[in-house]
Amino acid sequence: MKLWEKDFLVQPQIDAFTVGKDREMDLLLAKYDVLGSLAHIQMLESIQLISKNELDVLSASLKNIYQNIEKGLFKMDDDVEDVHSQIELLLTKSLGDIGKKIHSGRSRNDQVLVDLRLFFRAELQEMVRLMELVFHGFQEQSEQHKEVLMPGYTHFQVAMVSSFGLWFGAYAESLTEDLGLLESVFNIVNHNPLGSAAGYGSSFPLNRKMTTELLGFEDLSYNVIHAQMGRGKSELFIAFALASLATTLGKFSTDVVLYSSQNYHFLTLPKEYTTGSSIMPHKKNPDVFELLRGKCNLLQALPGQVSMLINNLPAGYHRDFQLLKEVIFPAILSMKECLEMIAFVLPKLEIHDNLLDDPKYAYLFTVEKVNELVLEGIPFRDAYKQVGDMVEKNVFVPGNKISHVHEGSIGQLCNKEIFQKWKMIKDRFPFGKIEEKYIALTRIR
């Protein structure tokens, strides 16, 4: 069954190619298609395109479908093209001509647009939840190990004294930036395209502000062509947000792989969190973080993939957009898996102390010595030269006093301030409002 079916049959080979993986991907959109339809029919009744009785009957049937979806009982018939067709077919089978009225004033184009935006809102909400677990994990480790010093590096060379508190805290603050970008993307996605139809509006007197309110959108995508142009652009914005988050998680994963090696030996993964070798009995490999790094590298390529699909397309709908689901849906799943795994492993990292007792880290303290001389009244450039001469003559003797007290340094990590930064961004997401709207739409009276 196809919503565009006429009096001829499409060749099976053409049909299979054009449908592609849409049926499989559409199952993820089923509940959101019902939510969009529930709002749409309330609007249709308000402009008298359907009667109050028809609204009640359609609502009851849609809510029943919604409950089946939530219970995992919803299935796609073999001959049905997509989720929109399946839901309309179920309504028509149970309600007859009343079920056929649900598509008045909309196209599959704006139908899938609103489904995707509702889906993206939910997935971004879940991502924020998982990010928060990782954020708190970093902050807890930062506080727990704030007194444990470690070497800091630039150019892979020993540079200055750092601490595990500083290292973990850096990734917590990096996540606040990723959250800020995610919020910007959420705000863009959180605009209602429903009523744009095929991209040129409708001759029906649609009340688009009503569906915007019913679905908990922040505002309308007003211009109907612009609403359709959001297909692909929304995915691109999401791709950038995922790539940013992947940059943070990928860098952390690389650090863990490096720091857990024997040459560094800054930290250890419990053996239950490692894998072995088929030939070397001593191996305990950090495969989980290598795979995290690899997955994050792939996610950083996501904006390029999306761009290649949507580049050079003129205004209007194009079937190319269908392929975006096959790119963006698995990417979202992959990111959630990465976040879940880091949240799971992060508390189990075993941190080593007394690292700086090793003589190879003596030069970490050269800057401390320079600063000490400056405090005694020696100009910085002269102090720098003096300490440099000591190093060249191999007579430099490191101290053990660290006096980093400014904001964000070893002595003042500012974890509370970073938490407030995180909280301020997170509190701006309107998750509660959206949930209230969904409950109102699906409530069985």
What is the C-alpha separation between 427 and 177, in angstroms, rounded?
15
* Pair 254, 312 in one domain: yes
pLDDT-derived band at 322, boundaries 50, 70, 90 = confident
How many alpha carbons lie under 13 Å from residue 90 in its C-beta half-sphere?
22
Q: Which CA distances in Å does 39 have to 112, 392, 400?
A: 14, 76, 67
* Pair 246, 299 in one domain: yes
* Pair 126, 85 in one domain: no
pLDDT at 137: 98
Q: Is residue 210 part of a domain?
A: no
* Pair 171, 240 in one domain: yes
* Pair 398, 328 in one domain: no
What is the C-alpha separation between 168 and 171, in angstroms, rounded?
6
**Please, are residues 55 and 42 in contact by the beta-carbon 8 Å criterion?**
yes
- Which residue in this structure is represented by tokens 């998680």? 249
* Pair 263, 297 in one domain: yes
- DSSP string for 379-392: -HHHHHHHHHHHHH
Containing structural domain, residue 388: 358-413
**Residue from 144, 188, 213 nearest 415 by CA:** 144
pLDDT digits (tens, 9 = 90+) for 171-216: 999 999 999 999 999 999 999 999 999 999 999 999 999 999 999 9
The answer to pTM > 0.85 is yes
Q: Looking at the predicted structure, is the pLDDT value of residue 12 above 90?
A: no
* Pair 255, 363 in one domain: no
Torsion sign over Cα 290, 248, 355, 399: positive
Q: Looking at the predicted structure, is the pLDDT value of residue 6 above 60?
A: no
pLDDT digits (tens, 9 = 90+) for 347-363: 999 999 999 999 999 99
pLDDT at 289: 94
Higher local confidence (pLDDT), 285 or 259: 259
Q: Looking at the predicted structure, is the pLDDT value of residue 77 above 90?
A: no
Q: Which two tokens stand for residue 409?
A: 């340094």
pLDDT digits (tens, 9 = 90+) for 14-70: 666 666 666 677 899 999 999 999 999 999 999 999 999 999 999 999 999 999 999
Q: Look over the chain and give the mean of its residue pLDDT values, rounded to a whole number.
A: 92
- Average pLDDT value for residue range 81-100: 92
Q: Looking at the predicted structure, is the pLDDT value of residue 445 above 90?
A: no
- Average pLDDT value for residue range 65-88: 90
Alpha carbon 290 to chain centroid distance?
20
Give ∠ CA 412-414-415 in degrees, rounded to 5.
125
Q: Is residue 204 part of a domain?
A: no
Give ∠ CA 169-173-175 in degrees, rounded to 5.
120
- Return the C-alpha torsion angle 41, 47, 52, 53, nearest 10: -70
Run of H or E residues at 163: strand 157-163
pLDDT at 280: 79
